[in-house]
Amino acid sequence: MKLIDGKAVSDQVKKEIAAEVAKMLAEGKRAPHLAAVLVGHDGGSETYVANKIKACEVCGFKSSLIRYESDVTEEELLSCIDKLNNDDTVDGFIVQLPLPKHIDEQKIVEAIDYRKDVDGFHPVNVGRACIGLPSFLSATPAGILELIKRYEIPTAGKHVVIIGRSNIVGKPLANLLMRKDYPGNATVTVVHSYSTDIKEQCLKADIIVCALGRPHFLTADMVKEGATVIDVGTTRVPSTETKSGFKLTGDVKFDEVAPNCTFITPVPGGVGPMTIVSLMKNTLLAGSKAIY
């Protein structure tokens, strides 16, 4: 069994990005600039955005944080997005989700110029990724592809079972893993809450991606000998063992599943650290105008 070290890979990718930025600066170009819009003071969102800003520093990017209180109107937010769309000094930006209920998230996502949509949530980027055209890939699927690549895990002709059909993980990952590329060329099955054959499907899988957000869902009796297991789950489970009072828990019963695997990602330290790195890669692509 080999542990997939997402932390180590993410550090390595950030170093590679920093080297690219150093090259850009040496050529007289400016560093890529990521702006983040944060509404309200949700603990999770604060942490995510802080980590993104920190990652920008490591990569040598310029970053900006734009804060709004949670009573911001949709109109104000749209006008902020309009400004960022038209600000030539900003290469890419994100609006941290979730937003307060009085704001239409989809409207906000679609208001972002797709050429600056480094989260990859705009329909143009979703559609282009689906068709197989260059685009900003959304963070988690892109992070998983990067891990597969770095660990040289074969995917062509392999059976991949993805548990979960969300718009930000399951569906886009399925599209990416069936495309004519590496990672890709896989037989892809997506199972979800309506599926009656999850165990049967998983037992045949060469690669299982767990992205349903139910702690310890995948047990040893669902995984065939030698499979690769990628755990996207990060549920906060109450715990007396940690200072914070909770423990980040994956969708995989790691202790019993791991011994049978060829590769497996831990939680934390697996897919998690890769998501911010995907955002950094998109920002580099935006800064160097590599896609649009």
For 142, other C-beta atoms within 10 Å of its C-beta total 22
Residue 283: which of 95, 117, 81 has the closest Cα? 117
Site membership for a second copy, residue 174 (CB under 8 A): yes
Query: DSSP letter at 30?
Result: P
Residue 87 known to be catalytic: no
Are 254 and 217 contacting, i.e. CB atoms less than 8 angstroms apart?
A: no
The yes or no reply on residue 190 touching a second copy (CB under 8 A) is yes
Number of neighbouring beta carbons within 10 Å of residue 51: 15
Phi, psi torsion values for 227, nearest 5 degrees: -70, 165
Please confirm, yes or no, whether 231 is among the known catalytic residues.
Answer: no
Pick out residues in 93-112 that bind a second copy (CB under 8 A): 106
268 binds a second copy (CB under 8 A): no
Q: How far apart are CA 44 and CA 40, in angstroms?
A: 11
| Residue choice 64, 85, 187, 235 for contact with a second copy (CB under 8 A) | 187
Strand bridging mode 187-191 / 159-163? parallel
By the rule CB under 8 A, 201 interacts with a second copy: yes
In this chain, which of 45, 64, 195, 262 binds a second copy, going by CB under 8 A? 195
**Nearest distance, CB of residue 157 and a second copy, angstroms:** 5
| From 96, 116, 201, 253, active-site residue | 96
> Which string of x and - marks every residue 133-152 that binds a second copy (by CB under 8 A)?
x-------------------
Please say if 201 is a catalytic residue. no
| Residue 46 binds to a second copy (criterion: CB under 8 A) | no
Residue count of the chain = 292
Exactly one of 52, 171, 253, 281 binds a second copy (CB under 8 A); that residue is 171
Q: First-to-last CA distance in the chain?
A: 41
CB of residue 190 vs a second copy: minimum separation in angstroms?
Answer: 5
178 near a second copy, rule: CB under 8 A: yes
Applying CB under 8 A, does 85 fall inside the site for a second copy? no
Q: Scanning the structure block, which residue is given the tokens 């902020």? A: 80
Per CB under 8 A, 194 contacts a second copy = yes
- Residue 123 makes contact with a second copy by CB under 8 A: yes
The count of C-alpha atoms lying within 13 angstroms of the C-alpha of 93, restricted to the half-sphere facing its C-beta, is 25
Distance, CA of 114 to CA of 236 (rounded, Å): 32
- The Cα 56–Cα 54 span in angstroms is 5
Active site residue ranges:
52, 96, 119
Footprint on this chain of a second copy (rule: CB under 8 A):
106, 122-128, 130-133, 156-157, 159, 165, 167, 170-172, 174-175, 178-179, 185-192, 194-197, 200-201, 204
